[in-house]
Structure formats: structure tokens, C-alpha cells
Amino acid sequence: MSDRNTLLKLALIVFGVVFCLVYLLAIVWPSGWAWHAGAPYESDYFMMIVGVYATLGVFLILASRDPAANRSLILFTIVSSLVHAAIMAWQALQMPEHMGHLYGDVPALVLVAIVLGVLLPPAHKVSGATATASG
């Protein structure tokens, strides 16, 4: 097993755990992780985000067992993290009360995308056919 693959497995576990802890992060550092005032459970929107990210976190942890077999999930995580970060950054720049996100969840999502993107090996030939970006 290569060092790169070992690091990818570790990154999937670490990011998976962090995604499972989004609710806690919003309690500890609300200006960097929550987009609403009050307790996290008071926002229906935030609870939906928690549900989506906790689910993704569990699947990233499971993907760490065999990253090559879960390439599509890892690519989804990379792309969706960049899209989510870009939208949040734009919104934070439009709403000064949310500037804390530029130091919290925005760079965190960019970091997830960069680390996974660097560690994910390029697609390779599988059974004589070239693997596509979708898996």
C-alpha cells in the first residue's frame, strides 16, 4: 500500500469525522459554522445541512476502507465542497454579519477539496476500459 493511499484513507476518516461533528462545531464556533442566530436546533435549514453532512461523513469513513472503489463519492465530495465554499464565500461577502465564515467553514471546505484532490490517484484502466470521472 502506498503512502499516498494511506494518507487518503486517513484524510477520508478525519474529514468524515469532522463532517459528523458539524453540529458541535456550530455550538463551539457559531460565527464560523452557523448561518443563523440561536441554538443550532432552532434552524430547520441548519439541521438539514447537519443531516446531509453527517451522512456524507459516515460514507467517507466507510470509503476509507477502499478509496479506489469509492472514487465517485470522493469526487463528489471534492466538487461539492468547492461549490458549497464558493456559494458561502459569495454570500459572506454580501452579508457583513457572516464574514466569520471566510475564516471557518469556507476555508475548511476548500481544504477538504484540495487534500482529497491531491491524494486521489488519477483514474486508471480497469478491465481494458478507461475509468471515467464518475467512477
pLDDT value of residue 134: 52
56-77 b/e (C-beta count within 10 Å ≥ 16 → b): bbebbbebbeebbebbebbbeb
pLDDT value of residue 45: 83
In eight-state DSSP terms, residue 41 is G
pLDDT value of residue 79: 98
pLDDT value of residue 74: 98
Mean pLDDT by 10 residues, the chain (135 residues): 91 97 85 70 84 96 97 98 94 86 89 97 62 53
The structure's pTM equals 0.83
pLDDT value of residue 135: 52
Question: 3-state class of 126 per DSSP?
Answer: strand
